[in-house]
Homo-oligomer: A and B are copies of this chain.
Amino acid sequence: MAEFAIGIDGGGTSCRAAVTDRMGKVLGSGKAGAANILSDLENSLVNIVASARQALSDAGLDSELAHTLPAVVGTAGANVGDYGKHVEKALPFANVHVVTDAMIALQGALGDADGIIGAFGTGSVYNARRNGMIWGVGGWGFVVGDQASGARLGRDLLERLLLAHDKVHPPSPITEKIMAEFEGDPERVVEFAHVSKPKDFARYAPMVFEYADKGDVVAVGIVKTAVNAIAESLDTLLWPECPSICLLGGLSKAYHPWLNPRHKTLLTEPKGDVLRGAVELAAKLLQKDLGSTR
């Protein structure tokens, strides 16, 4: 019967793993490259395993133990087609559950309780758990979704920059500052927009909040548009007895003061992060002795 299990946050930037005992106590942790199972399955598998082995070494255990231990991996795309099952079959753990990134984020933030989480980083996505059922909205990416994401805030800023340059809208301190960074040349803004990835646009998000908090009209407009999108999405998931809403991700604190009062009263601090969620689910797997079959 296995004594330990491994919880893994297979993220789009890096994989983080932790070895846990039956009580959820972390004994060691590890980190490796990104997991993007939809776009690069092979490297995702390599990185998931590498982070687990590192966590075992960090815990003072033989990294070869990976083959004898149960694991929970949370990763985006686990619910798309057969991707989750493919990953489960390909990983070398004794027993492995591959779940969505939303599942480990929910577990980390809410523990076993019901509630809603909204995650705001480069992207934006919302998930809810009600009577054990999980469902979500958003997270459809930069081009046609993620209305409250950092990438979208940055894209909106550049769009409004050009409208101010054209004198279609009035300028404001933030449009003047950023336009100066592009040396006043709209062609350079366009070029930036065409070669940039979502994370490049998202770099402007903290500045949008900084200026919005000072009352900059353009920045306030951008934030209010995003906050309206947040309100619509939260209302879609919300039910009368919903005990709490947790905001996660790099922009969550910046959004707090802007939220609608009916959502603000439900705000609670997340109990733990996504890796904590993976660890808790791994400990549960151990408690069920699912790890002892091999």
Binding site for B on A (CB under 8 A): 80, 137-138, 140-141, 143-145, 147, 155, 158-159, 161-163, 166-169, 186-187, 189-190, 193-194, 232-233, 236
A245 to chain B, nearest CB (A): 16
Q: Which residues on B sit within 8 Å (CB–CB) of A144?
A: 155, 158-159, 161-162, 189-190, 193
Q: A144-B155, A155-B144 are in contact. Are A166 and B137 (CB under 8 A)?
A: yes
Closest to A235 in B: B168
Additional A-B contacts beyond A138-B166, A144-B193, A145-B162 (9; CB < 8 A): A137-B166, A137-B167, A140-B189, A140-B190, A143-B193, A144-B155, A144-B158, A144-B159, A144-B190
Q: Which residues on B sit within 8 Å (CB–CB) of A155?
A: 143-144
Q: Which residues on B sit within 8 Å (CB–CB) of A169?
A: 232
Q: A141-B193, A158-B144 are in contact. Are A168 and B80 (CB under 8 A)?
A: no
Contact of A194 among B80, B137, B141, B158 (CB under 8 A): B141
- For the complex, what is the distance from the CA of A162 to the CA of B155, rounded to whole Å? 19
Q: Which residues on B sit within 8 Å (CB–CB) of A233?
A: 166, 168
A155 to chain B, nearest CB (A): 6
Q: How many copies does the complex hold?
A: 2
- For the complex, what is the distance from the CA of A137 to the CA of B166, rounded to whole Å? 5
Q: A137-B167, A166-B138, A168-B137 are in contact. Are A190 and B232 (CB under 8 A)?
A: no
A-B contacts, 20 of them at CB < 8 A, read: A80-B187, A137-B166, A137-B167, A140-B186, A140-B189, A140-B190, A143-B155, A143-B190, A143-B193, A143-B194, A144-B161, A144-B162, A144-B189, A145-B159, A145-B190, A166-B233, A166-B236, A167-B236, A168-B232, A168-B233
Closest to A186 in B: B140
- For the complex, what is the distance from the CA of A187 to the CA of B139, rounded to whole Å? 10
Q: Which residues on B sit within 8 Å (CB–CB) of A159?
A: 144-145, 147
Q: Which residues on B sit within 8 Å (CB–CB) of A189?
A: 140, 144
Q: Which residues on B sit within 8 Å (CB–CB) of A232?
A: 163, 168-169
Q: Which residues on B sit within 8 Å (CB–CB) of A80?
A: 187
- For the complex, what is the distance from the CA of A193 to the CA of B145, rounded to whole Å? 10
- For the complex, what is the distance from the CA of A168 to the CA of B80, rounded to whole Å? 21
- For the complex, what is the distance from the CA of A155 to the CA of B236, rounded to whole Å? 23
